[in-house]
Amino acid sequence: MDAGRAMSDESIFREVDEAIRQDQLKVLLRKYGLLVLGGAVAIVAGVSGYKFWNYWTAQQASDAGGRFVGAVTLLRDGKNAEAIEVFKALADEGPSGYRRLARFRLAAVYAKDGKIAEAINIYDKLAADSGLDKIQQGFAVIQAATLRLDDAPFDEMNKR
């Protein structure tokens, strides 16, 4: 009978401990439940926003890539004026990488079409673009200098 009574006492203690834990959990949930829920919602919203931003930037880059390839195709087909319009649009509103590529390509088309001043202006802006690496800036400087060879005085060329 003592063994049965010991089991019964243990059961009572377990039930009391369980009831105390449940009461403590209820107090914690009342006190911090909204904070935990808010944190979880913030995490889900943050991850969702990040995923959407990645998707959106990939879509923008894909669209710009298609437009860039289309402009190169227009050049190949001899439709320089149409290609220039596409490159101008990309240079103004495309994603940063395509914006710079379009500016380089636009300057090259201007140079080929004899619009040397426009080409030099674009190359000078590219050379001053701190977002480009040194090699790309150097390329822009060389391209501008090459275009200036025929018209610029020696002193001006020497300064550059």
Res 27: pLDDT: 87
How many Å apart are CA 138 and CA 153, to the nearest integer?
21
| pLDDT score of 153 | 60
pLDDT recorded at residue 68? 93
Query: For residues 100 and 15, what is the distance between their CA atoms, to the nearest angstrom?
Result: 71
What are the average pLDDT values for consecutive 10-residue runs of the chain, which has 160 residues?
Answer: 62 83 86 87 95 92 92 93 93 89 94 92 92 92 88 60
Q: Strand, coil or helix: what is 128?
A: coil
- Report the distance separating Cα 6 and Cα 114, nearest Å: 103
Q: What is the pLDDT of residue 71?
A: 93
* pTM (predicted TM-score): 0.68
87, 109 in Cβ contact below 8 A? yes
